Amino acid sequence: MTAEPAEHEGRETELLLQGVTVSYGEKVALSAVNLDVAAEAVVAVIGPSGCGKSTMLRAIAGLEPLTEGEIELGGRSLRGVPTHQRDLGLMFQEHALFPHRSVAGNVAFGLERKGRTESEIRERVGEVLELVGMDGFGSRSIEALSGGEAQRVALARALAPTPRLLMLDEPLGSLDRVLRQQLTGDLREVFARTGVTAIHVTHDQSEAFALADHVVILRAGRIEQQGSPADLWRHPTSRFVAEFLGHPNVWEVDGRHVLTPVTALQPDPNGSIVVRVDRVEFQEGRFRITGAEALLVSERVVVFDSDTAPAVGDHLRLALDKSQVYPLAD
Amino acid sequence: MRQPDVGAAGGTRALTAVFAAVALSFLGALVVWPLVSVFQRSLTGVGVERITEILGRGSVRRVVWFTLWQALASAGITLVIGLPIAHVLARYRFAGRDLIRALAVVPFVLPTVVVAAALSATFDRLRLDLDQTVAAILAAHVFFNVAIVIRVVGGFWGSLDQRPTEAARVLGASPFEAFRTATLPRLAPVIAGAGVLVFLFSFTSFGVILILGGPRRATIETEIYRNAIFRQEFDVAAVLALLQLVVVSLLSFLVARFQRRQARHARGRTRAIAKPVRGPMQRLHVLAIAGLALAVIGVPVAALVEASLRVGGGYGVDHYRNLFEPISLLPVTAGRALLTSLYFAIGAAAVATVVGVMAAFAIVRTGRLGHLIETAALIPLGVSAVTLGFGYLLAFTVLDLRRSPWIIPVAHAVVGLPFVLAAVVPALRAIDPRLRQAAAVLGASPIDVLRLVDWPLIRTASLTGAGFAFAISLGEFGATSFLARGDSAFTAPLAIFRLLSQPGDVLRGRALALSVVIGGIVALVAAMLERRRTDGAVLL
Amino acid sequence: MKTLNGSRFVAMGLALAISASACGSDAPTASGTSDTTTTDSASDSSGEGGASFDGVNLTLVTHESFVVSDGIFDQFTADTGITVEVLAAGDAGEVVSRAVLTAGQPEGDVMFGIDNTFLQRGLDANLFVPHESALLADVPDELELDPEYRVTPIDVSDVCVNYWIDSVGTPPQTLADLAKPEYASSFVTENPESSSPGFAFLLATIATFGEDGWESFWQEMVDNDVAITSGWTEAYYGEFIAGGGDRALVTSYASSPPAEVIFADPPVDVAPTGVLADSCFRQVEFAGILDGTPHPEAAAALIDFMLSPTFQADVPLNMFVYPANDTVELPAEFLEFGPLSESPITMTPAEIEAGRLGWTERWTEIVLS
């Protein structure tokens, strides 16, 4: 596979992965991954658990030795460069803050390693704590923080030394839904304000789409597809991507899979498809209807939108715009 | 295939290799080599028939059986008594808590002969006729070793994240169920570790068996001595020593494996916050357990202190005042011997802690090699002082190290090492590896990670281990007595035994005073470590 | 343990033996050197031609009860140029076992502390090289137990039954008296397998009652409720009245009554204990030149010094034993409260060694089971 250029918009390449492979004996965790990340881009890496997302971050960080391949950061090969000299920021799912240091002590850690003076450190710590909305928390102990606060501190700690690349490993995974949505917005703002180049690993595609300029979908250690969020949504190339992104109506036709976008189906009394309505939900001003089409030997699920709400159990006819239907690779 | 990119793992691996090398050289030179030497010397030319004949003896079987069951019983009873005390001391704040904690380590350093006297006096006062019984042996082993359970388990318990236990309570579990399902699995590795230490101490206990058990009780340890010294049947002694080696190796192998498997439960420790005692039930509970602790530890210690203050018909501090007076029988004054012991104890604690922390890293970060180090480190506790003593004698002929004075603190460090490991390894395993990764990503070199992440998180445990190594060295008699030395290496325990080898109240008074001073020093050191533990701003 | 069969132990033993031969057996002998002064053996051997041993450092291997006054060797060093380093460890039995295990590569040059109950072992193991000291003229002939002079007697002590004068009533006069009903539950002695005085006392009974009589004597002692402890300290300080126990008779030393006076608190004029003279077994402690020493002549000079009045006079109050050199005067307390027995019980080292294992096994059967 060749590297598909990310949305560079004329910016330099900051991170380049070429043929990166990580294997543990027989088991291949990451296979010939190519990735090109522009400076100041936010890339989301998504995929089901075990697909190699975290391995990819660990490989970039130097925490996982490469079996093959090459990683460049800022035009410099990372081969043989130990983790602590790679100039990265990393945020874990569960904050991984140092329990023996205060909030400020945690944020100062990376700055101290860079040999900053005490006043520089104090200033920068205050700055990033404010950036993440935690100003005034400097002297708190880690145990006194809530989950959301801890993640904000972890973000501040990762950002403080202004790393070349910020990596976030499911940073919101352990938080509840409301907090997650709130922090997603905050992250977006921090990315914009700092202009940091970031790789954001998540299993939540909506989080990825909300944050990233460029989304990479990993499957079993390989890049299945990558592109801008809009491109990916509109043109999933495989059944896996389509289903992972949450497209309904991935149908098997004559032994091949096709994607029928919801927009391709319209209620129409003359339509050729007959479905029995199973569920009706109200979504963004329209009704989303889930139904079943009786086939010869089985049933297939059909999802479509409608301006009116049919009753559960009703039978409806639908028209299909065949031009929108396109085949998927398996 | 292109060369793999090692990244940061390379530096960490190099450090681990250095640590493993230090630990292996230490154990190789001070445990394996001496043992190999002594077995080579005493078993060369001994045929299979002879060995089977020795092992087949009914007397040997009886001795092995008694040794194993009394050690098992000692460990079991010590745990049953020690765990509730460890719990109360770790979880509740109450007046006298620090006192009990400091007092708990005192028995550990008292010479057997003095403890025997204190226990006998206590038995007499309680009108218990336990002279020369197994019960007396078990009581002494509990008295000596309960500190191990209190300190090693209690230290870990105090820093155990309570949320899972509280969650279990909220979900409707009774306190006992919550303990069993949420606390015990996480404590199990430490309990097993402490239990093994008590077992091994009881397994190789010598003075207690002879003095309190009397001449009718024999263990593998006392039989090794009898055969090697009185009967000079070195082959019989060597076969018995091999038996000890097999038992200790097997046991430490199994326990190390168990601890590795359980390690995952222990992740996620937080700061311990001891609660004040609330409500009559808790008050009763704490009172009962504190009373138990004081009875087990305090009463015999008080009997000893009282005896040391007896002067003529009344009481006084004469024996203490006279510690620095010269006395015939002793090559140096008792006070001078005490200073020597202090130097040795500080040296032993330093060596045991430095080597122990390195070994702990190697144990946690390597597989089979770590297992080997863990197993080898426990061996000195499970083999006889006679075996190791003869081993040093034979092995160190080569460099003529056998009479170098540093051999004594180093030998003490060998005995102290398992205690450092018992405290540090679980603490190290409990550190979330992501903390190290986070530090590395933030620019910390492998040495920085060690200094700024690992060390602050194992410092308390290391101090606990160092305290034990210090105490062991201060009270050590068996190995010290066996290692040849000049007057400059005459330690306080040797002085106590020497003073009690001739009649006279002056001698006895001084021996008891010296014992009390040793116990007091250890209590003081324990209290100081305790203070450091609570002073630290943010702790484990 | 029953499931472990013998062959596994053998395999393990062999493996250990094989791996050990690589590092243990060809070790160079380094004894005689010291870590404080550097000894040049070439200049040393030339020195031994004359009277001066300048720069020679001797190591005296001994048990941990060895105590001498500070500076006792100063005059010896001034006279001969020899410095002495004392290396003490373990009890008398351990010293012999150590020497047997390191035979040929001795820990030092001179051994002190092998007594007549262990002497035959040392002689059988060829631990010593002969030296006939001129000062033996001042030593009673009966102490010279080795006609080949491989060892030299240095001090003497008696293991005797002691009694607490105020509690014993009429003290026993003979060993046989101990079996009388009036001394029932009054006597405590030590296990001969783990205690030196315990073994000496067993030998005393065997010598007194003979091969045919000693066993029945001990049976009577058992019937008379004799108490047995593992060591002297438990007997004297645990069971005997002196230490707060309730037994009025104990196996101890002839020097114990003087110690009771010297170490009394508060001071006393008269010993509270007495000695049953008829029960005293004579122990003699020897010194010998260890085979393998590079300095046999300097070692001989040290042994001569240990037999000299300077050293001999230092012995009683430090080790609570009696000098072998009978020209030396005893301290007053020893003269008054602890004279050596005039008719001690003795046994030759060869007899002791030949009988040791059989006697103690028999004793264990009678008394302990």
Q: Per-residue pLDDT tens for C164-181? A: 999 999 999 999 999 999
Contacts of A64 in chain B (CB under 8 A): 7
pLDDT of amino acid C145: 93
A145: contact with B, CB 8 A cutoff:
no
What is the overall mean pLDDT for chain B? 86
Q: Taking a C-beta distance cutoff of 8 angstroms, is the pair B170, B164 a contact? A: no
- Show the CA angle centred on residue A211, arms to residues A209 and A217, nearest 5°: 45
Q: How confident is the model at residue B189 (pLDDT cuts 50, 70, 90)?
A: confident
pLDDT of amino acid A9: 65
pLDDT of amino acid B343: 95
Cβ separation A84–B8 shorter than 8 A: yes
A255 Cβ contact partners less than 8 Å away, ≥ 6 residues apart: none
Q: How confident is the model at residue B272 (pLDDT cuts 50, 70, 90)?
A: low
Q: How confident is the model at residue B366 (pLDDT cuts 50, 70, 90)?
A: confident
Q: How confident is the model at residue C273 (pLDDT cuts 50, 70, 90)?
A: very high
Which has more pLDDT, B242 or B162?
B242
Q: Give pairs for B161-168: CB < 8 Å, separation 24+.
A: B161/B268, B161/B269, B161/B270, B162/B270
Q: Taking a C-beta distance cutoff of 8 angstroms, is the pair A22, A66 a contact? A: yes
Q: Per-residue pLDDT tens for B304-319? A: 899 899 887 789 999 9
pLDDT of amino acid C14: 37
Per-residue pLDDT, averaged over B255-261, amounts to 80
Cβ separation B394–C101 shorter than 8 A: yes
A284: contact with B, CB 8 A cutoff:
no
State how far residue C86 is from chain B, nearest Cα, in angstroms: 5
Q: Per-residue pLDDT tens for C298-316? A: 999 999 999 999 999 999 9
Q: Per-residue pLDDT tens for B42-87? A: 888 888 999 999 999 998 999 999 999 999 999 999 999 999 999 8
- Whether the per-residue pLDDT at B12 is higher than 90: the answer is no
pLDDT of amino acid A177: 81
pLDDT of amino acid B273: 62
Which of A23-27, B112-116, C119-123 ranks highest by mean pLDDT? C119-123
Contacts of B485 in chain C (CB under 8 A): 87-89
C-alpha to C-alpha distance for B229 and B22, rounded to whole angstroms? 34
Give φ, ψ of C147 to 5 degrees: -65, -20
Q: Taking a C-beta distance cutoff of 8 angstroms, is the pair B34, B394 a contact? A: yes
pLDDT of amino acid B264: 61
Smallest Cα–Cα separation from A104: which of A129, A128, A138, A140?
A: A138
pLDDT of amino acid C338: 85
- Whether the per-residue pLDDT at C250 is higher than 60: the answer is yes
B270: contact with A, CB 8 A cutoff:
yes
C-alpha to C-alpha distance for A207 and A201, rounded to whole angstroms? 10
First and final C-alpha spacing in chain C: 25
Which has more pLDDT, C248 or B108?
C248
pLDDT of amino acid C9: 36
Cβ separation C20–B40 shorter than 8 A: yes
B387 Cβ contact partners less than 8 Å away, ≥ 6 residues apart: B35, B38, B224, B237, B241, B244
Q: Taking a C-beta distance cutoff of 8 angstroms, is the pair A145, A102 a contact? A: no
Q: Taking a C-beta distance cutoff of 8 angstroms, is the pair B139, B130 a contact? A: yes
B215: contact with A, CB 8 A cutoff:
no
Per-residue pLDDT, averaged over C4-28, amounts to 37
Contacts of C264 in chain B (CB under 8 A): 504-506
Q: How confident is the model at residue B494 (pLDDT cuts 50, 70, 90)?
A: very high
pLDDT of amino acid B398: 60
The continuous run of DSSP H or E covering B455 comes out as helix B455-475
- Whether the per-residue pLDDT at B537 is higher than 60: the answer is no
Contacts of B509 in chain C (CB under 8 A): 265
CA distance readout (Å), A314 to A271, A280, A309, B461: 15, 11, 10, 70
- Show the CA angle centred on residue A69, arms to residues A67 and A75, nearest 5°: 135
- Whether the per-residue pLDDT at B471 is higher than 60: the answer is yes
pLDDT of amino acid B356: 96
pLDDT of amino acid C51: 58
C-alpha to C-alpha distance for A86 and C34, rounded to whole angstroms? 56
CA distance readout (Å), B167 to A145, A175, B173, B174: 19, 18, 9, 11
Pair type for strands A326-328 and A256-259: antiparallel
pLDDT of amino acid B263: 67
State how far residue C149 is from chain B, nearest Cα, in angstroms: 24
HEC profile of chain C: CCCCCHHHHHHHHHHHHHHHHHHHCCCCCCCCCCCCCCCCHHHHHHHCCCCCCCCCEEEEEECCCCCCCCCCCHHHHHHHCCEEEEEECCCHHHHHHHHHHCCCCCCCCEEEEEECCCHHHHHHCCCEECCCCHHHHHCCHHHCCCCCCCEEEEEEEEEEEEEEHHHHCCCCCCCHHHHCHHHCCCEEEECCCCCHHHHHHHHHHHHHHHHHHHHHHHHHHHHCCCEEECCHHHHHHHHEHHHCCCECEEEEECCHHHHHHHCCCCCCCCCCEEEEEEEEEEEEEEEEEECCCCCHHHHHHHHHHHCCHHHHHHHHHHHCCEECCCCCCCCHHHHHHCCCCCCCECCCHHHHHHHHHHHHHHHHHHHHC
C-alpha to C-alpha distance for B10 and B12, rounded to whole angstroms? 5
Q: What is the DSSP string of A177-203?
A: HHHHHHHHHHHHHHHHHHT-EEEEEES
What residues pair up with A302 in beta bridges, in sequence order? A291
The continuous run of DSSP H or E covering B178 comes out as helix B175-178
Would you tell me which residues 454-493 of chain B have a C-beta closer than 8 angstroms to some C-beta of chain A?
456-457
Starting from the edge strand earliest in sequence, which strands make up the sheet with A214-219, in order?
A: A88-91, A165-169, A197-202, A42-46, A214-219, A222-227
pLDDT under 50 in chain A at which residues?
A: 1-4
State how far residue C153 is from chain B, nearest Cα, in angstroms: 21
What is the overall mean pLDDT for chain C? 86
Q: How confident is the model at residue C261 (pLDDT cuts 50, 70, 90)?
A: very high
Q: Per-residue pLDDT tens for B397-426? A: 765 666 677 888 999 999 999 989 988 988
pTM of the model: 0.84
Contacts of B214 in chain C (CB under 8 A): 228-230
Which of A83, A101, A157 is the closest to B440 by Cβ?
A83
SS3 B13: helix
Q: Per-residue pLDDT tens for C35-69? A: 333 333 333 333 344 457 888 999 999 998 899 99
- Enter the tokens of residue C26: 């060809």
C-alpha to C-alpha distance for B165 and B226, rounded to whole angstroms? 51
State how far residue B540 is from chain A, nearest Cα, in angstroms: 7
